[in-house]
């Protein structure tokens, strides 16, 4: 995988230096075509679409990674009925002790601690008293964490993106199908209150036939990427900005609209085209903060400031997804849903417009009536507690609550391994397209055709 990625990168750089444009994918060779193809499943491997597993009276959880996301997960999960945290793991001993103390302070048994070395998490995955491995590690560990956990007979929940390469996407899919274990990407934005309401509206035909969606992850993270004290452990996110382009973090925006549009359930991503601006923001920030001749300012950063990726679905719908973590802009995920009867948009303001007066946004009274009418059942059931517990306004708690509910009742998950793979595949596919002058790139069918006969995600009753 690394050799193939370097091949694309080096070919682009070499030809550009000679003043020659990078040729289309068809001219690069069979290597890329094979890479984008759908591999055959192994004998005995079967789909996990709609997977139901044995109900668990209590869900015993082992958590890997106790940084910004992991420590918050420890506190949240202890507020979900039916949860027992039996093990925690981090390479920093002080974090392990802090997580253990959070559990003890709740009057619960101290979880086992792991993290003596980089591979100690695997020992934790083998424990008999772990049903679910919940991983909040840096990006490069997500797929290895999940694959190993599933091979030990555990369900896996991993932070976003679930995978950084197509090879990893297929590892997740194939391992889930071979082991018949759940693998969920912890895409919390699917459980934000407005996103859930628009899903409910869409399923009830409020927007008519869905045609187009727009989404994004626009979040100025420059200070955090360079922060050696409180930022990303080992500066791993900064390293990705140095070595990669495209959309490194598509799923916060893409996940919710993909669910609304029935991706992997009645429709699928067909192909995408991606384009990035020049890289300016990281260098300018480093120059201003550390000095013009500082190592930070002299570094070469591959990641273009704004990436725009357009996805065409098999049913002829379009999705625009953007990524920008290097510009001085207010946070936005856009979240725009457009259909034949109207439109909903979350950022910068929550607004809805509907026929026959779709040229104007609904006034405050009509908007409130509609939002109240289509409040998602999950929001009604646990929304109040979610806001109290917190986690990005409560969506983190709803995500955790729903995951545990499904495992305890033996229900299919709202987000399965095919969603994790398809949404995460944009990371590498966008980079391939950007480096190939924005030529379109086929998106693999991670369901291997099962999407055609699968109903769109429903509304929890």
What average pLDDT does range 268-296 have in this prediction? 98
* Domain-wise residue ranges, the chain: 59-186, 190-377+416-453
Backbone angles phi, psi at 117, to 5 degrees: -155, 175
Strands 155-158 and 269-276: unpaired
Strands 318-324 and 307-313: antiparallel
High-pLDDT (> 90) share of the chain, %: 88
pLDDT higher than threshold 80 for residue 188: yes
Report the side by side order of strands in the sheet with 112-114.
112-114, 83-89, 59-64, 132-135, 155-158, 183-185
Q: What is the pLDDT of residue 321?
A: 98
Tell me what the mean pLDDT of segment 249-274 comes to. Answer: 98
Percentage of the chain exceeding pLDDT 70: 93
**pLDDT digit string (tens) for 153-164?**
999 999 999 999
User: Mean pLDDT over residues 297-305, rounded?
Assistant: 97
What would the pLDDT profile of 313-341 be if each residue is shown by its tens digit? 999 999 999 999 999 999 999 999 999 99
Q: Give the DSSP per-residue string, 27-72.
A: HH-HHHHHHTSPPPPPTT----TT------SSEEEEEE--SHHHHH
DSSP label at 117? S
Say whether pLDDT at 20 is over 80.
Answer: no
pLDDT digits (tens, 9 = 90+) for 405-418: 999 999 999 999 99
Q: How far is Cα 111 from Cα 113, in angstroms, rounded to an integer?
A: 6
Domain 190-377+416-453 CATH assignment equals 3.30.360.10: yes
Residue 447: strand, helix, or coil: coil
Mean pLDDT, rounded, of the chain: 93
pLDDT at 299: 97
State the pairing for strand pair 307-313/269-276: antiparallel
> Positive or negative, the Cα torsion across 224, 2, 269, 423?
negative
Residue 18 has pLDDT above 70, yes or no: no
As a whole number, mean pLDDT of residues 276-290 equals: 98
DSSP three-state, residue 272: strand
Assign 176 to helix, strand or coil: helix
Q: What CATH number has the domain spanning 59-186?
A: 3.40.50.720
pLDDT at site 305:
98
Task: Tell whether the model's pLDDT for residue 244 goes beyond 50.
Answer: yes
pLDDT at 29: 44
Confidence (pLDDT) at 8 = 52
């Amino acid at each position: 995988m690394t050799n193939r990625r370097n091949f694309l990168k080096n070919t682009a750089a070499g030809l550009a230096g000679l003043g020659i444009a990078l040729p289309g994918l068809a001219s690069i060779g069979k290597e890329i075509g094979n890479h984008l193809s759908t591999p055959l499943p192994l004998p005995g491997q079967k789909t996990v679409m709609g997977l139901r597993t044995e109900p668990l009276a209590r869900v015993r959880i082992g958590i890997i990674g106790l940084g910004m996301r992991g420590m918050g997960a420890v506190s949240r999960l202890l507020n979900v009925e039916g949860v027992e945290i039996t093990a925690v793991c981090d390479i920093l001993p002080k974090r392990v002790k802090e997580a253990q103390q959070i559990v003890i302070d709740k009057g619960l048994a101290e979880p086992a601690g792991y993290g003596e070395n980089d591979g100690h998490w695997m020992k934790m995955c083998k424990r008999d008293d772990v049903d679910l491995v919940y991983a909040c590690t840096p990006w490069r560990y997500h797929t290895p964490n999940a694959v190993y956990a599933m091979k030990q007979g555990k369900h896996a929940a991993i932070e976003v993106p679930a995978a950084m390469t197509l090879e990893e996407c297929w590892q997740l899919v194939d391992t889930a199908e071979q082991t018949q274990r759940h693998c969920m990407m912890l895409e919390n934005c699917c459980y934000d209150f407005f996103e859930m309401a628009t899903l409910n509206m869409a399923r009830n035909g409020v927007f008519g036939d869905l045609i187009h969606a727009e989404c994004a992850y626009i979040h100025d993270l420059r200070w955090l990427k360079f922060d050696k004290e409180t930022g990303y452990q080992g500066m791993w996110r900064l390293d990705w900005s140095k070595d990669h382009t495209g959309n490194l973090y598509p799923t916060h925006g893409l996940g919710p609209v993909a669910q609304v549009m029935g991706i992997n359930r009645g429709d699928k991503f067909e192909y995408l085209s991606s384009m990035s601006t020049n890289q300016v923001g990281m260098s300018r920030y480093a120059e201003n903060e550390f000095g013009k001749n500082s190592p930070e300012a002299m570094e070469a950063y591959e990641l273009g400031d704004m990436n725009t990726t357009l996805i065409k679905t098999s049913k002829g719908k379009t999705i625009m997804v953007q990524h920008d973590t290097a510009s001085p802009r207010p946070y936005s995920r856009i979240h725009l849903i457009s259909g034949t009867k109207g439109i909903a948009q979350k950022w910068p303001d929550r607004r809805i417009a509907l026929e026959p007066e779709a040229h104007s946004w609904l006034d405050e009274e009509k908007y409130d009536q509609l939002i109240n009418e289509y409040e998602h059942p999950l929001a009604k059931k646990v929304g109040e507690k979610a806001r109290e517990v917190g986690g990005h306004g409560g969506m983190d708690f709803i995500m955790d609550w729903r995951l545990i509910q499904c495992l305890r009742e033996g229900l299919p998950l709202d987000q399965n391994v095919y969603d994790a793979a398809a949404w995460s595949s944009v990371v590498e596919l966008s980079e391939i397209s950007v480096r190939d002058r924005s030529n379109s790139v086929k998106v693999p069918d991670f369901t291997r055709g099962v999407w055609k006969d699968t109903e769109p995600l429903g509304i929890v009753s």
